[in-house]
């Protein structure tokens, strides 16, 4: 986390996860800013995998990805006048919440997200083993 990042708010989603809304905006030149809205969710692996996954898969995932998987998405606008930063940030946040809050709060989201991250990890491992050496 940089010194300029600021936690704006937290929302508890219907699936029990906490959605953190961050302002990571920064000045870039003169009175111009890069406006950055960032959404983050920490998803504990053990608590969010489908029950059918079983301990062996949970252990494999925790070994590969750790005890938590992190969802992070940014929305960025560049070269914004200083007097428009707050308005642009609020617009980015509102559009993000309108388009994703139901998806992120769905009961199946955490488990499916973890399994997708694990699948991506496995694909990267296969790629590295095929092209190393």
**Strand residue runs (E) in 2-130:** 6-12, 18-23, 26-29, 32-44, 68-81
pLDDT at 131: 87
Q: Which residues pair with 81 in a beta bridge?
A: 32
Report the alpha-carbon distance of residue 84 to residue 13 in Å, rounded: 29
Structure tokens at 125: 């491992």
pLDDT at 55: 80
Q: 38: closest CA among 14, 60, 8?
A: 8
Report the b/e string of 104-125 with b at 16+ CB within 10 A: bbeeebbbebbbebbeeeeeee
Report the alpha-carbon distance of residue 93 to residue 9 in Å, rounded: 11
Question: How many domains does the chain fold into?
Answer: 1
Tens digits of residue pLDDT in 83-130: 999 999 999 999 999 999 999 999 999 999 999 999 999 999 999 999
Confidence band (pLDDT; 50, 70, 90) for 133? low
> Which residue range is the domain that position 91 belongs to?
6-131
pTM above 0.75, yes or no: yes
Number of Cβ within a 10 Å radius of residue 26: 14
Structural domain includes residue 1: no
Confidence band (pLDDT; 50, 70, 90) for 1? very low
Q: What percent of the chain has pLDDT over 70?
A: 97
Structural domain includes residue 104: yes
Tens digits of residue pLDDT in 36-87: 999 999 999 989 987 777 788 899 999 999 999 999 999 999 999 999 999 9
């Amino acid at each position: 986390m940089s010194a300029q990042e600021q936690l704006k708010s937290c929302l508890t989603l219907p699936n029990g996860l906490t959605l953190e809304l961050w302002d990571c905006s920064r000045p870039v030149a003169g009175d111009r800013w890069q406006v950055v809205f960032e959404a983050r969710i920490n998803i504990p692996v053990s608590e969010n995998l489908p029950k059918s996954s079983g301990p062996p898969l949970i252990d494999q995932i925790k070994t590969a990805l750790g005890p938590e998987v992190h969802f992070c998405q940014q929305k960025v606008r560049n070269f914004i006048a200083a007097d428009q930063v707050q308005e642009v940030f609020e617009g980015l946040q509102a559009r993000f919440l309108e388009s994703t809050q139901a998806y992120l709060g769905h009961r199946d989201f955490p488990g499916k997200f973890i399994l997708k991250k694990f699948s991506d990890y496995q694909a990267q491992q296969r790629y590295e083993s095929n092209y190393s050496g």
